[in-house]
Amino acid sequence: MAHVFRLPDIGEGLDEAEIVEWFVAIGDVVVRDQALVEVLTDKASSELPSPVAGTVLSLGAAEGAHLRVGEVLIEIDDGSETANAGVRRPPPAAGSVGDPVSGSTPRPSGTQRSATTARPKAAPATRRLALQSGIDLNTVTGTGPAGRITADDVRNAETPVPASGPKPSTRLASRPVDAGSQPLSSTLGQMPSGRHPLRGLRGVVARNMVQAWTEIPHIHTMDELDASLLVDFRIRVRSMDRPGAAQVTPLAIAAVAAARALRRFPVVNGHVEGHPGDAIVIPEEINLGIAAATGRGLVVPVVHNAGTLDLFTMAERIASLVAAARAGDLTTADLAGATFTITNYGSLGGRFATPIIPPGQGAILGLGAIAERPVAVEGEVLARPTLPVVLGADHRLIDGDLAETFRRAVVDDLIEPLHLLIEA
């Protein structure tokens, strides 16, 4: 009997998803709960499992196409004896390619997955890295939870995909881009000549940036602070024997300073609703978006209820979210609800920038690289570690006096971070 599986609502009330990658093709035999497809909604990739075991009859849309919640995703013959003479196969979704009935191109014989072959546990980004690197995931031992294969497992593997196996993907490998901790990916900035559809995570980023830049009138205020006490504070805190101490970074310290300033100045935690503007919305909670660069593009996981967290809990939350972002394991909930964003382009070596405020927010804090630079101290020029700081603000909501005052509050706590261990 033909089982029609429709695109479910996978969270946050989103009404459509993009088909990123099919893991099956027409004629494939699948088992219940086997991953069928990777879909993208609001920057979060999700794998959808098969609700039944059986043989794939049709795919509802091609990779790169968008489906709305409730539209046909896939049709599977579950092999039951129930009469289905009156069942009509759904028409292919718009934009489908290949077979006119199924809306997909069947794989050549010999490439179908058997129902007895267990699919390795790995995030979509890890699978792409394996394909790009020519690594067969079936030969890799996972060191993650429940045997899940991590990106590091793939990088440490040396077994190539057999010549008869699938060819390496031409997609970019999903590796973190962090000049301060590891070499840049060899795929950074690489793309073959020609026309490429703007889709997937890059398409989402493009749409969000256009909306932010065209709807929000930006103003920016900048400073560069003496980070001598900040660096010393970080070294001392990381030597403590307590949970979260090892994860304390300048980013985590700045996040606590920002949350403290947002409690003092709730307007900066708000945003203007509508375009050009119908109302000012001041949220009850402080939810910090933490911009993270990955091989697939920029993602912004969210530390929820950041205004209630101490330094050590904040450090643990940020470390966990950034690791999940770079592994491609974020959920839609992890990316939703930010009220203020921090972007640490200093981890890439940058000094000053003018960051763009995400849609639905009123301000963004940018952090440059801490480095020794000349500083005037009591009439003498000395080499001191300094931290460049930039605040971007929506001028519909935040005037220059508030922007300067807020930035100054953050800077004061970074100059003397012991403030952050004292209740505001």
CA distance 332 to 327: 15
- For 367-405, give the DSSP string: E---EEEEEEETTEEEEEEEEEEEEEEETTT--HHHHHH
Active-site amino acid positions: 395
Q: 370 — phi, psi (to 5°)?
A: -75, 125
Burial class (CB in 10 A: 0-12, 13-18, 19+), 372: exposed
Nearest one of 381, 342, 385, 340 to 361, comparing CA atoms: 340
Cβ-Cβ contacts under 8 Å for 67 (sequence gap 6 or more):
7, 16, 17, 19, 60, 61, 73, 93
CA distance 104 to 63: 10
In whole angstroms, how far apart are CA 264 and each of 152, 197, 218? 42, 45, 22
